[in-house]
Amino acid sequence: MLLNEIAGEIRSMEVRGAGRIARTAAAALRDHATAYEGADVHLFKEYMDEGAATLLATRPTAVSLPNAVRFVMNAKEGAGTVPEAQEAIRKAADLFILSSKHAVEWIGEIGARHISDGDVVLTHCNSEAALACILTAHRQGKDLEVFATEVRPRNQGLLTIRALNDAGVKTNYIVDSAVRSFINDVDLVVTGADAVTANGAVVNKIGTSQIALAAHEARTTMLVAAETYKFAPRTLLGERIEIEERQTDEVLDPAVAATLPNVRVRNPAFDVTPARYVDEIVTEMGAIPPTMAYVIIRDHLGWGIEEFHKNFELDE
């Protein structure tokens, strides 16, 4: 499939979920590189840069996408020929995809240790990593009950309850606004993340921050499952993560909207949960308090001061 077609699928949410988006982008860059038939390495690098820009323009909030693109694209630096650059990109893309899949497995194992036999767990949106925690605990023989939200307006909760149903997990399906009504029946909230900032704030599907606030009020543990490539290096310099606002027709039929000239439909896809409402972030490197997000960015993603100078051209 052509890179432009894959970009369209990411933009339209046919490909959804931060991890899946990242792996799909890495595979698209690999296949895009393989399809190049020229011999000029400089033209090849320009060709790849254009493809990367196309992918980066699709979804502005999930930092897994730029982190995946950066990881794959950095591999071509230093290559002297087109075949060398193509091979470097192929290896980097395959490594990222494999590492991403293993990360979800490790998060599942670590997250399952936080779930006890008999627990009632609430989850929001359709997160690979969050589901891995729940399903791993279920496979370990723990008796669980899950509350899964509808997740308006795209109803990603349907994907979640199908996965839980197929695994044989007892599940309650609720509208997003019913969370506070059930939060006192819940032992643990487990969500995913589309981005984690340097100060430990979590960007995730719209509604997550309200759930975190309700959990905080009820003294219910709030666990976030996130691969380390969802941590946002640029937030170290105070750069804010752009919150994507999607088409209004996802919320209101255009024919109805046309009859309401004084009504503006707002459709943000994500919100920000402050670090103080998150108890732990479960990564493939282990479970950490939100205050350690900076350490993940510095030590695991390698964004020290030299990286700042390289990417932002800061003065010493």
- One domain, residues 154 and 298: yes
- One domain, residues 172 and 154: yes
Q: pTM score > 0.85 for this model? A: no
Mean pLDDT over 5-25 rounds to 88
Which pLDDT value is given to residue 303? 54
Residues involved in catalysis: 125, 194
- One domain, residues 56 and 122: no
Which of 78, 105, 132 is a domain's end point?
Answer: 105
- One domain, residues 152 and 226: yes
Confidence of residue 228 (pLDDT cuts 50, 70, 90): very high
- One domain, residues 149 and 191: yes
Which pLDDT value is given to residue 291? 94
Which of 81, 105, 129 is a domain's end point?
Answer: 105
Using the predicted structure, report yes or no on whether residue 197 has a pLDDT greater than 70.
yes
- One domain, residues 72 and 134: no
Residues of the domain holding 93: 3-105
Using the predicted structure, report yes or no on whether residue 17 has a pLDDT greater than 80.
no
- One domain, residues 198 and 72: no
- One domain, residues 96 and 162: no
Mean pLDDT over 33-59 rounds to 93
- One domain, residues 72 and 124: no
Number of domains the chain is built from: 2
Q: What is the CATH number of the domain that holds 166?
A: 3.40.50.10470
- One domain, residues 51 and 95: yes
CA distance 59 to 83: 30
Which of 35, 70, 105 is a domain's end point?
Answer: 105
Q: What is the CATH number of the domain that holds 70?
A: 1.20.120.420
Which pLDDT value is given to residue 61? 75
Mean pLDDT over 225-254 rounds to 92
- One domain, residues 148 and 269: yes
- One domain, residues 255 and 208: yes
